[in-house]
Amino acid sequence: MSLVFLIFLPILAALFIPLLFKKVGQIHTGWFVLLVPTVLFIYYSTLLPTIAEGGSRMSQLQWIPSLDIAFIAYIDGLSLLFSMLITGIGALVVLYSIFYLDKYREQLHNFYVYLLMFMTAMLGVVQSDHLISLYLFWELTSISSFLLIGYWYTRDRSRFGALKSMIITVFGGLMMLGGFVLLSIMGNTYSIRELIAQAPELVNHDFFVWALVLILLGAFTKSAQFPFYIWLPDAMEAPTPVSAYLHSATMVKAGLYLVARFTPIFAASGTWVWLVTGVGLFTMFWASFWALKQTDLKGILAFSTVSQLGLIMSLLGASAAGFHVENAADTYFKYAGFAAIFHLINHAVFKGSLFMVAGIIDHEAGTRDIRKLGGLMSLMPISFTIAMIGSFSMAGLPPFGGFLSKEMFLTAMLTMTEFDMFQFETWGILLPVIAWIGSVFTFIYSFYFVFRTFAGKHKPEELPKPAHEAPIGMLLSPAFLAILVLVIFIIPNIVGDWLVKPAVAAVQPFMYGSPQEVDVHVAYWHGFNTELFMTLGIFAVGFLMFWTLAKWQKSYDLYPDTLTLNRLYDHMMFLSDIGANRFSRLYMTGFIRSYLVYMFSFLIIIVLGTFVLNEAFAIDMNNLAPVGLYEIVIMIALLGSTLTILFSKSRLTAIIALGAVGYSVALFFVIFRAPDLALTQLVIETISVALFLLAFYHLPQISRKEERMRFRLGNAVIAIGVGVTMTLVALTAHAGKALPSISEFYKETVYTEAAGGNIVNVILVDYRGFDTLFEIAVLGIAGIGIITLIKLRLTKKEGQHENK
Amino acid sequence: MRTNDVMLQTVTKVVTFLILMFAVHIFFAGHYTPGGGFVGGLLTASAIVLLMLAFGIRTVKKIVPINYVVMTSVGLLVAISTASASVLFDVPFFTHAYDYFDLPLFGKTSLHSALLFDVGVYLVVVGVTMTIIQTIGEDE
């Protein structure tokens, strides 16, 4: 079966959803949707044995062959791991949503269409081997996520959150596209595999660092890294199944996938190691610190997601360091890559279950505000158990999956202190320190989340609904995930062999040729080493701080709101809105005078600038005709009447002077032997002067005040500038006349070919009759225009004007 | 109250025909000497304008009952058909043809299809000029 077709299977299935929703209303639409991820998950599972042995699967669908653009589905360990997460958790989320969303009150057809669209997009992102189709799917995840966050579109907060996430992730997506284009120019191919193969040559390319930074921007915005994480807490306005699926388990991991996928290309660069590790680790610390300020259950989980994504990101950065170490596979450097992938699986599992529990509490108690909740332990025992398992795994307690990955994380961070390149020898010591502080806060907020909700005193008077245990269907998915958390702890090495190692081999091909070479064995007990003491320290300090939380949690309020990143974002949006508005108002004055000033100024600047830059100005005094007396006389008359127009006090004088200009021009036509032109000019000038007089006669009394045109220096400068410019152009054009005129041909053929004597008329009706045809059309249009203007005055009727 | 324009009206009666004759002359002479459809049309229009000045727009509308908008469109139609007629003879658009004929009254005469095109131009120019003047003149 074609892998490309499987990518598109969900979106094709989505076509039938509205139909099923409308026609088969009795059955919850989710049941039909559930089939799609389940089938896909089963299919992807059958690929496991092939992939675990180091094999890969590929299939291709031509899209635009002439531009070398195709859909290429390439499945190796990394793609398969992500595909299974997407379809597996997708199936559980759909199951959960069947009980979470009411089939009568909710617009299920919208919800499931968006969700299936998202599934296709995610599968496309993780399986594409083609940069352009990867980008296509990447933007589709942004769009479907936008639609899902804004699912309850009548709420203000939903629309705000959707827009914010859209703006930030699409900004990153566009940056990433830039990086992709640079990358494809560098390697002369769109295929990621081929780019990885030429990685050694790409390092020295001029574009390398540009491509690196741009692609990282894409990954950081999508995976909510510092300082782009701000969209994720606002995305919590989405329905809880969406938060569980998109904003914890899948979409936010697209950035991690991107970093992992491109590690083989960029690992050679110190910038990459520093940026990915540093930003990731700082995000981990920062978000875990601020998670404790949150009072909304989903807010806490959002910050914890950001923090955990930062953790995985930093591990991916550290895994790139293995490129620079000799025999890295034999040292502790091998742990980073393995830990990253392992924790990625862990996080998807426990965070999915935690979100679902938060949704259950919201659903059954009517609020997500942690200050109103408490004492639900006895009322909702199953939810409590699930939440406890998830939280303890998140905090890194044994016997849950999170413990194992936390140990490996600490190992990896400690190893980085031994890394002696790119100034890691001086600053590297910071890494385990920040990691440790971040882990302490992770421990505290995990406890904060579960015990503030379920332990303590029950406050039924503050809850909108009396709390009770959720229906069994709603508990199925989180319970399954919670069991999975335990299973991962029990059989970490089986998970490692089947899922993690093939993925690690794809991330670090410079260290391992095949999954079997990944020599990492997950052990529960490493002996008494630094990691163990660090873990014990985390437990001790974390527990102490949680115990005293009520005393110091208030200090978060000391931090001024004006300095937060959200405020910065709001201000940026506000200012760009206001700024663009002001800027437009600045130059779009509404006065034609201003626009004419712009046009003429640019005419001068462009033409004179071209003259100066190309040194094009030239005067050629040869070929000039002798100047006769008549020309001089007419010239003086012309100048005189022109000056009269400019300096006359009354408009009437100006109109008459304009007529004088016209007649002088007609005289010029006469002495330059253009009888047709002279005839036409005389008649037309007469008519237009008459029309001017008509317009003058009808001027309103108020504006008939006779006054001289006001002098404006700017106008004068521009007018003189335009005159000088055009004179220069004319002189230069004359000097540069290189070809003889075509008029010789007319002279020779006017009688023989066209049977005429008047060259002008023959040109007008015969040689170039086409122009004349449209000139009379112009005349006709002008006539119709005047009729329309004068006879059809709709503005007189009330309510007809569009601006009223 | 109109003043008595008897001199103007009397002169107009004579001059109008002179102008019209001149216009026709200049129109037909256009192919060999200065003139042509454009100037011819303008002169014709000026003859009618003179009539209007002397007798008033309403009277002139009665003696010359022409719908100038229709005239404009007929002119455009003539021009475009002349131009496209050549297509029927399997030659490019706007190819003109001419020949010499022995006409009963004129003797040996050159007839040129460009003349037909010029008729179109003439009609459009007269039509548009008169449309403009009449429309503005009738406006209150």
pLDDT in tens, A434-473: 889 999 999 999 988 888 888 878 777 777 777 777 788 8
Closest in A684, A764, A779 to B124, CB measured: A779
Angle (deg, nearest 10), helices A381-395 and A401-416:
20
Q: Is the pLDDT of residue A391 over 60?
A: yes
What is residue A706's predicted lDDT score, i.e. its pLDDT?
Answer: 67
Residue A726 CB-half CA count within 13 A: 8
Q: Is the pLDDT of residue B73 over 90?
A: yes
pLDDT band at B140 (very low <50, low <70, confident <90, very high): low
pLDDT band at A312 (very low <50, low <70, confident <90, very high): very high
Closest in B112, B125, B131 to A787, CB measured: B131
Cα of A249 vs its chain's centroid, Å: 21
Cα of A331 vs its chain's centroid, Å: 40
Do residues A527 and A537 lie in contact, with contact meaning Cβ atoms separated by under 8 Å? no
**Alpha-carbon gap, residue A512 to A448, rounded angstroms:** 41
What is residue B1's predicted lDDT score, i.e. its pLDDT?
Answer: 45
Determine the average pLDDT of the residues in B3-25. 90
Determine the average pLDDT of the residues in A407-413. 86
Determine the average pLDDT of the residues in B125-129. 93
Residue by residue, DSSP assigns A501-552 as: HHHHHHH-TTT-SSGGG------S---S-HHHHHHHHHHHHHHHHHHTHHHH
Q: Contact A755/B80, CB-based, under 8 Å?
A: no
Give the model confidence (pLDDT) of A294-309 as tens digits: 888 899 999 999 999 9
Q: Is the pLDDT of residue A527 over 70?
A: no
**Alpha-carbon gap, residue A457 to A460, rounded angstroms:** 9
Q: Which is more confident, A355 or A709?
A: A355
Encode A314-346 in three state secondary structure.
HHHHHHHHHHHCCCHHHCCCHHHHHHHHHHHHH
A571's tokens: 């201000």
pLDDT band at A160 (very low <50, low <70, confident <90, very high): very high
What is residue A145's predicted lDDT score, i.e. its pLDDT?
Answer: 92
pLDDT band at A667 (very low <50, low <70, confident <90, very high): very high
Closest in B42, B69, B83 to A683, CB measured: B42
- Find chain B residues with C-beta within 8 A of A756's C-beta: 31-32, 112, 114
In a domain, B126, yes or no: yes
**Alpha-carbon gap, residue A467 to A379, rounded angstroms:** 7
Domain boundaries, chain A: 267-547, 628-700, 741-790
A572, A574, A580, A581: CA torsion to nearest 10? -170
Do residues A100 and A239 lie in contact, with contact meaning Cβ atoms separated by under 8 Å? yes
Pairing of strands A57-64, B98-103: unpaired
Buried b (16+ CB within 10 A) or exposed e, B74-98: bbbebbeebbebbeeeeeeebebeb
A370's tokens: 């942690």
**Alpha-carbon gap, residue A543 to A503, rounded angstroms:** 35
Q: Contact A679/B34, CB-based, under 8 Å?
A: yes
Q: Contact A783/B69, CB-based, under 8 Å?
A: yes
Give the model confidence (pLDDT) of A261-288 as tens digits: 999 899 888 888 888 988 999 999 999 9
Determine the average pLDDT of the residues in A482-490. 89
Determine the average pLDDT of the residues in A131-139. 94
Min distance A623 CA to chain B CA atoms (Å): 28
Q: Contact A783/B32, CB-based, under 8 Å?
A: no
Q: Contact B131/A764, CB-based, under 8 Å?
A: no
Nearest to residue A431, comparing CAs of A562, A543, A318?
A318
Q: Is the pLDDT of residue A401 over 90?
A: no
**Alpha-carbon gap, residue A140 to A158, rounded angstroms:** 19
> Closest-CA residue in chain A for B115?
A765
Min distance A17 CA to chain B CA atoms (Å): 58
Do residues A520 and A496 lie in contact, with contact meaning Cβ atoms separated by under 8 Å? yes
What is residue A94's predicted lDDT score, i.e. its pLDDT?
Answer: 92
ipTM here: 0.90
Q: Is the pLDDT of residue A767 over 90?
A: no
Q: What is the pTM of this model?
A: 0.81
Do residues A312 and A347 lie in contact, with contact meaning Cβ atoms separated by under 8 Å? yes
In a domain, B49, yes or no: yes
What value, to the nearest 5°, has the Cα angle with vertex A222 and ends A362 and A496? 85
Q: Which residues of B touch A (CB under 8 A)?
A: 26, 30-39, 42-43, 46, 68-69, 72-73, 75-76, 79-80, 83, 93-94, 96, 98, 110, 112, 114, 117-118, 120-121, 124-125, 127-129, 131-132, 135-136, 139
What is residue A106's predicted lDDT score, i.e. its pLDDT?
Answer: 84
Range of the domain at B38: 6-138
What value, to the nearest 5°, has the Cα angle with vertex A750 and ends A749 and A752? 60
Q: Contact B34/A758, CB-based, under 8 Å?
A: yes
Q: Is the pLDDT of residue A800 over 80?
A: no
Min distance B130 CA to chain A CA atoms (Å): 9
Residue A757 per-residue DSSP state: S
Q: Contact A780/B129, CB-based, under 8 Å?
A: no
Do residues A327 and A462 lie in contact, with contact meaning Cβ atoms separated by under 8 Å? no
Q: In chain A, what's the furthest Cα-to-Cα distance?
A: 116
Burial of A204: CB neighbours in 10 Å, binned 0-12, 13-18, 19+? exposed
**Alpha-carbon gap, residue B93 to A99, rounded angstroms:** 74
Q: Contact B98/A755, CB-based, under 8 Å?
A: yes
> Closest-CA residue in chain A for B23?
A679
Give the model confidence (pLDDT) of B15-38 as tens digits: 999 999 999 999 988 888 888 888
Determine the average pLDDT of the residues in A153-159. 91
> Closest-CA residue in chain A for B139?
A790
Please count the other Cβ atoms lying within 10 Å of the Cβ belonging to residue A322: 26
Cα of A8 vs its chain's centroid, Å: 23
Contacts for A717 with CB less than 8 Å, ≥ 6 apart: none
Q: How many residues does chain A have?
A: 804
Nearest to residue A507, comparing CAs of A376, A683, A339?
A339
- In chain A, the percentage of residues whose pLDDT exceeds 90 is 35
A332's tokens: 């502790």
What is residue A703's predicted lDDT score, i.e. its pLDDT?
Answer: 61
Distances (CA, A) of A295 to A68, A164, A228, A390, A608: 51, 21, 21, 19, 66
Which of A776, A786, A788 to probe by mutation at the B interface, max B CB count within 10 Å? A776
Which of B19, B25, B39 to probe by mutation at the A interface, max A CB count within 10 Å? B39
**Alpha-carbon gap, residue A437 to B18, rounded angstroms:** 108
Closest in A691, A762, A776 to B76, CB measured: A776
Distances (CA, A) of A15 to A10, A33, A86, A117, A142: 9, 11, 20, 10, 20
Do residues A74 and A127 lie in contact, with contact meaning Cβ atoms separated by under 8 Å? yes
Q: Is the pLDDT of residue A804 over 50?
A: no
**Alpha-carbon gap, residue A7 to A37, rounded angstroms:** 11
Q: Which is more confident, A523 or A141?
A: A141
Provide the domain count of chain B: 1
**Alpha-carbon gap, residue A357 to A100, rounded angstroms:** 11
**Alpha-carbon gap, residue A645 to A655, rounded angstroms:** 8
**Alpha-carbon gap, residue A726 to A732, rounded angstroms:** 10
- Find chain B residues with C-beta within 8 A of A673's C-beta: none
- Find chain B residues with C-beta within 8 A of A687's C-beta: 42, 129
Determine the average pLDDT of the residues in A130-159. 93
A56's tokens: 């890969």
Min distance B117 CA to chain A CA atoms (Å): 7
Do residues A453 and A387 lie in contact, with contact meaning Cβ atoms separated by under 8 Å? yes
In a domain, B21, yes or no: yes
Q: Which is more confident, A126 or A559?
A: A126
Q: Is the pLDDT of residue A183 over 80?
A: yes
Q: Is the pLDDT of residue A210 over 60?
A: yes
Min distance B91 CA to chain A CA atoms (Å): 14
Q: Contact B31/A770, CB-based, under 8 Å?
A: no
Q: Which is more confident, A244 or A323?
A: A244
Residue owning tokens 């300095």: A563
Q: Contact A780/B72, CB-based, under 8 Å?
A: yes
Q: Is the pLDDT of residue A206 over 60?
A: yes
Q: Is the pLDDT of residue A497 over 70?
A: yes
- Find chain A residues with C-beta within 8 A of B121's C-beta: 765, 772, 776
**Alpha-carbon gap, residue A97 to A103, rounded angstroms:** 10
What is residue A158's predicted lDDT score, i.e. its pLDDT?
Answer: 92
Determine the average pLDDT of the residues in A421-429. 70
- In chain A, the percentage of residues whose pLDDT exceeds 70 is 95
Min distance B10 CA to chain A CA atoms (Å): 24
Mean pLDDT of chain B: 86
A246's tokens: 């998109």
Determine the average pLDDT of the residues in A20-45. 88
Do residues A130 and A69 lie in contact, with contact meaning Cβ atoms separated by under 8 Å? yes
Lowest mean pLDDT segment, chosen from A186-190, A345-349, A499-503, A792-796: A792-796
What is residue A796's predicted lDDT score, i.e. its pLDDT?
Answer: 56
Q: Which amino acid is at A714?
A: G
Q: Which is more confident, B35 or A519?
A: B35
Q: Is the pLDDT of residue A69 over 70?
A: yes
Q: Which amino acid is at A279?
A: V
What is residue A616's predicted lDDT score, i.e. its pLDDT?
Answer: 78
Determine the average pLDDT of the residues in A385-390. 91
Which of B26, B38, B126 to probe by mutation at the A interface, max A CB count within 10 Å? B38
Determine the average pLDDT of the residues in A212-234. 91
Min distance A758 CA to chain B CA atoms (Å): 5
Please count the other Cβ atoms lying within 10 Å of the Cβ belonging to residue A426: 8
Closest in A679, A762, A772 to B31, CB measured: A762
Q: Contact A680/B135, CB-based, under 8 Å?
A: no
Q: Is the pLDDT of residue B4 over 80?
A: no
Lowest mean pLDDT segment, chosen from A227-241, A487-501, B96-110: B96-110
Query: Which of A263-272, A424-433, A523-532 tops mean pLDDT?
Result: A263-272
Q: Phi and psi dihedrals of A754, rounded to 5?
A: -105, 0
Count of A-B CB contacts under 8 Å: 118
> Closest-CA residue in chain A for B135?
A787
Min distance A683 CA to chain B CA atoms (Å): 7
Q: Contact A779/B73, CB-based, under 8 Å?
A: no
Which residue pairs from B15-18 have beta carbons closer than 8 angstroms and sit at least 24 positions apart in sequence? B15/B50, B16/B47, B16/B50, B16/B51
**Alpha-carbon gap, residue A226 to A284, rounded angstroms:** 9
Q: Contact A777/B39, CB-based, under 8 Å?
A: no
What is residue A524's predicted lDDT score, i.e. its pLDDT?
Answer: 65
Q: Contact A769/B117, CB-based, under 8 Å?
A: yes
Do residues B65 and B131 lie in contact, with contact meaning Cβ atoms separated by under 8 Å? no
Which of B22, B32, B95 to probe by mutation at the A interface, max A CB count within 10 Å? B32
**Alpha-carbon gap, residue A353 to A469, rounded angstroms:** 16
What is residue A86's predicted lDDT score, i.e. its pLDDT?
Answer: 92
What is residue A260's predicted lDDT score, i.e. its pLDDT?
Answer: 92
Classify the phi-psi angles of A155: left when phi > 0, otherwise alpha if psi is within -120 to 50, otherwise beta: beta
Residue A310 CB-half CA count within 13 A: 30
Lowest mean pLDDT segment, chosen from A84-88, A525-529, A720-724: A525-529
Q: Which residues of A touch B (CB under 8 A)?
A: 675-676, 679-680, 683-684, 687, 691, 694, 754-758, 760-762, 764-766, 769-770, 772-773, 776-777, 779-780, 782-784, 786-787, 790-791
Nearest to residue B72, comparing CAs of B112, B19, B125?
B125
**Alpha-carbon gap, residue A727 to A427, rounded angstroms:** 68
What is residue A211's predicted lDDT score, i.e. its pLDDT?
Answer: 92
